[in-house]
Structure 1
Amino acid sequence: MKKLIIFVTLPLMLIVGAGMGAVMFGLIPGFDPLGTQKKHGMESANSEPKEEPFLNEAPPTFAAPPPGAVTFQLEEFVINLQTERHYPVFMLLSVALELKDEAAQIRVTTLEPRIRDKVIIFASSLNEQELNGFDGINRIRDGLWVRLREIIEKEDLLNLQILKMTIK
């Protein structure tokens, strides 16, 4: 009797548990028992969320600033990168923020310690291989864009420029 429990009941419980987990985490495509996903064609035209441009990546570097925009250059950052080497790898980073106007610059100046904290925490989580070349510059630029938009009001921050990025 004990062998029946071990060889039949336990695998059956494992399969049922794995199936429930797959349903709970939405791993089964097209199966939504709780109706959490919106059905296509059921939303009204007014209820569609307005898509915000440049939500997860920074605007292009060549985008012309609007009239009255100001550039606010942050002090240089010296950041210790993740490494498996026996000696540290540092990154020297210089960033300029393109802001809406002078009033936005005053507001951002008061947020500078929080901005520096976000930049250092994000950049120190990266390693030297992730920052190589053009893709590395875009990775850090897009990552900083997302994190700085959490702190700075969205209409104040227009663009972000990487002025200098040196890894030693």
Structure 2
Amino acid sequence: MVVVLGVGAMLYLGKQKEAKEPGIEDVIKGEKEAQEAEEKNEDFIGKLIPLETFLVNLSGSRGRKLAKVNMELEVSNDDVQIEIDKLKPKIRDIIIIILSSKTYAQVSSKEGKDSLRDEIRDQVNLFLTKGQIKRVYFTEFIYN
């Protein structure tokens, strides 16, 4: 009789433990939900601020190679937009200096453009106090 009660208690306690531990379906469901939430955050585009066209001579070209660039800045909040509007001449100056310091070889590749995006974002963020530029998007990039 004691053996039967012991086996019954072990089975009962074992079932309770299994009920507390998440099953494989719960783990898969939780992982899928976390992955979907992460994808939404990566794809989310915040407020975009368009800048006027930049037309600059590329470095080392003796004025023979020009770059025409249009870009938009993705910002982290609305306060940054107001700050960017106030600092627009300073921001344009920084971007013109960065663009004109690049050679044709530096801006003609995908890696070069990615590096340029990062440099522009990092340099402009140095002047912003109310938020940050999250990304720089080139909407037009023409060079001859």
**Cα pair distance change 1:84/1:155, threshold 3 Å:** closer
Deviation at 1:105, TM superposition (A): 0.9
Structure 1 unaligned blocks of 5 or more: 1-61
Structure 2, unaligned runs of 5 or more: 1-40
Corresponding residue number in structure 1 for 2:109: 133
Task: Pick the structure with greater CA Rg.
Answer: 2
**If the length of structure 2 is used for normalisation, what is the TM-score?**
0.64
SS at match of 1:63: helix
Structure 2 Cα separation of the partners of residues 154 and 161 of structure 1: 21
Q: Give the aligned partner of residue 123 of structure 1.
A: 99
- Aligned equivalent of 1:90: 66
| Deviation for aligned residue 1:154 | 6.9
Counterparts of 1:102 and 1:148, CA distance in 2:
16
Verify: 1:100 aligned to 2:79, yes or no.
no
* Structure 1 Cα separation of the partners of residues 86 and 56 of structure 2: 22
CA RMSD of aligned residues (A): 2.1
Q: Which residue of 1 aligns with 2:56?
A: 79
Structure 1 residue 84: Cα displacement: 4.4
Rate the CA distance shift 1:154–1:166 in 2: closer, same or farther, 3 A. Answer: farther
Name whichever structure is richer in helix by fraction. Answer: 2
Residue 58 of structure 1 aligns with which residue? none
Moved over 6 A (4+): none
Distance 1:155 1:132, change over 3 A: same
What percent identity do the matched residue pairs reach?
Answer: 22
Aligned length: 104
1:63 counterpart (20, 42, 64): 42
Q: Structure 2: how far apart are the matches of 1:138 and 1:80?
A: 20
TM-score by length of 1: 0.55
